[in-house]
Amino acid sequence: MKDQITYPKNVFFLGKGGVGKSTSSALTSLKLAQNNQKTLLVSMDPAHNQSDIFERRFSEKPYAVNDYLSVIEVDTNKWVNKYLEDMQNQVKRTYSYLTAFNLEKYLDILKFSPGIEEYALLLAYQNIRQKAGDASYIIFDMPPTALTLKFLTLPDLSLIWLNNLLQLRQKILDKKEIVSRVKFGKKELETDKIKSKLLQQIQLYEQIQSVFKDPSKTILNLVLNTDKLSFNESQLIVKKLENFHIGINNIFLNKYYNGFDISGIKSRYPDYGLQILPQNDEPLIGLNSLTGYIAKLDGFVEL
């Protein structure tokens, strides 16, 4: 694993349900820790399998498995509530003059609005980056495909919206300025609160977007099995992310068995690293089982 990297580096594990995202995340985290790399393993999947895999009780508070590896399980509900609270406060502050129109009633509807879950995950992600301390790697064990794709493409989609809103706001401000010049004979100098907020949000999403798209800062590992269904879903994931200029770095071929022909995968993904993880006879549960499995591996893909 390379030394010259920008810290902390994001490593996302994604793929179809049940292919081994959580197991691959756990194995990779332990391998990095064995190489004396400070690693934070983060479960972003509300199903939270890391507690079962490590046979420990993880929570939002980092749990030190050893000197180099800590584990966090993100409390998605907490972040959904935090996101809603932030939104409500912001709307109340900006539109305080509308209280007579029973703003509360409309704010209640917010929690049923689509997209809340991925915004909440993005909020959790930012918080984790801030408190990652001196970790060299943050390994994200991601939820099933649909939510993960929404999460990774959220900065791009939000930026399309925000830039359009900014243009609209600018048009309104230009009109206001003409009116004020006619009325008072001078330019209105006051800064617009809504425009400032839009600019601030744009800056935030551009920053997250640039980290997601920079291979020196973010690694995407796509987990698949030997079956046709997981291979097909992997192709859909790659295509969808390519549309957003987000590239996969490595394929983790999990539950591999001797005799399986990997040439199809190699020819479909010639530019990606390939990590082969053989099917284990026993379930990969518990530290002994995981470290024993790593010891038997031929090598580990460079991150």
The contact set with Mg ion (CB under 5 A) reads: 21-22, 45, 49
Can you tell me the distance from the alpha carbon of 223 to that of 17, in angstroms, rounded to the nearest whole number? 10
Residue closer to ligand ATP (CB basis): 197 or 293: 293
Q: How many CB atoms lie within 10 A of CB 96?
A: 9
Least Å from the CB of residue 72 to ligand ATP: 16
Residue 43 interacts, among Mg ion, ligand ATP, none and using kind-specific CB cut-offs from 5 to 8 Å, with none
* Shortest Å distance, C-beta 194 to ligand ATP: 40
Q: How far is the CB of 45 from Mg ion (least distance, A)?
A: 5
Of residues 84 and 152, the one with the C-beta less far from ligand ATP: 152
DSSP annotation of 216 reads T
Interface positions with ligand ATP (CB under 6 A): 17-23, 45, 47, 49, 144, 254-255, 277, 279-280, 283-284
Nearer to Mg ion, 49 or 51 (CB): 49
Bond from prior residue into 8 cis (ω within 30 degrees of 0): yes
Q: Indicate the SS3 state at residue 277.
A: strand
- Give every CB contact of residue 54 below 8 A, 6+ residues apart in sequence: 26, 65, 71, 286, 287
Residue 207 half-sphere exposure, CB side, CA atoms within 13 Å? 10
Question: What minimum distance in Å lies between the beta carbon of 152 and Mg ion?
Answer: 17
Beta strand extents in the chain (DSSP E only): 9-15, 39-43, 63-64, 69-73, 137-141, 218-224, 250-256, 273-278
Nearest residue by C-beta to Mg ion? Answer: 22
Task: For ligand ATP, give the closer residue by CB, 51 or 201.
Answer: 51
**Per the structure block, which two tokens stand in for 175?**
């009109």
Cβ closest to ligand ATP, residue 136 vs residue 275:
275
As measured in angstroms, the least distance from the Cβ of 54 to Mg ion is 13
Cβ atoms within 10 A of the Cβ of 38, count? Answer: 19
Whole-number minimum distance, CB 166 to Mg ion, in Å? 38
* Tokens of residue 117, six digits: 């879950």
Give which of Mg ion, ligand ATP, none residue 19 binds (C-beta under 5 to 8 Å, depending on kind). ligand ATP
Q: How far apart are CA 211 and CA 132, in angstroms?
A: 15
> Tokens 């230009």, residue?
174
CB closer to ligand ATP out of 244 and 293: 293
51 binds, among Mg ion, ligand ATP, none (CB under 5 to 8 A by kind): none
Residue 153 or residue 225: which is nearer to ligand ATP going by CB? 225
- What is the smallest separation between the CB atom of 141 and Mg ion, expressed in angstroms? 6
Distance CA 127, CA 144 (A): 21
